[in-house]
């Protein structure tokens, strides 16, 4: 569980920063993200900011400015619940904000999805 109290977890957006995903939740894992800003993860294949194959619960958070081939903001193959949150300005090949794979379960309530872009 991460209770961010409005704080930010971010990869530097400088060009010289190595490419990496910020969070990866394994099939047996569970992650709770509360009141935190996640940003600038990526330039990876799946899930620039977050890749979920387990159980992830996002409450009152912002997922922003991720970059990835699929699911720049979030790539989901597990159970993902997003509530009272924002997915902003993520950019990728498929699924700018979220890529929900055929094996994934996704619930979004009272949330904003804005300014995300994808090539297809």
- Average pLDDT (19-37) is 97
Q: Identify the pLDDT of residue 82.
A: 99
Q: Identify the pLDDT of residue 15.
A: 82
Q: Identify the pLDDT of residue 14.
A: 85
* 22: nearest Cα among 58, 55, 49: 49
Q: What pLDDT, in 10s, does the model give residues 62-107?
A: 999 999 999 999 999 999 999 999 999 999 999 999 999 999 999 9
- What confidence category does residue 120 fall into, taking pLDDT thresholds of 50, 70 and 90? confident
Q: From residue 43, give the alpha-carbon distance in Å to each of 85, 90, 109, 116.
A: 23, 11, 28, 15
Q: What pLDDT, in 10s, does the model give residues 50-64?
A: 999 999 999 999 999
d(CA 18, CA 42): 9
């Amino acid at each position: 569980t991460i209770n961010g109290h409005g704080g930010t977890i971010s990869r530097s957006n400088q060009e010289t920063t190595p490419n990496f995903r910020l969070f990866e939740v394994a099939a047996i894992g569970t992650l709770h993200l509360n009141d935190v800003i996640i940003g600038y993860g990526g330039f990876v294949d799946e899930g620039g900011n977050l890749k979920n194959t387990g159980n992830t619960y996002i409450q009152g958070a912002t997922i922003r400015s991720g970059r990835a081939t699929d699911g720049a903001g979030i790539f989901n193959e597990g159970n993902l619940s997003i509530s009272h949150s924002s997915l902003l300005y993520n950019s990728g090949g498929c699924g700018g904000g979220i890529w929900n794979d055929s094996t994934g379960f996704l619930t979004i309530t009272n949330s904003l999805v804005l300014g995300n872009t994808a090539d297809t």
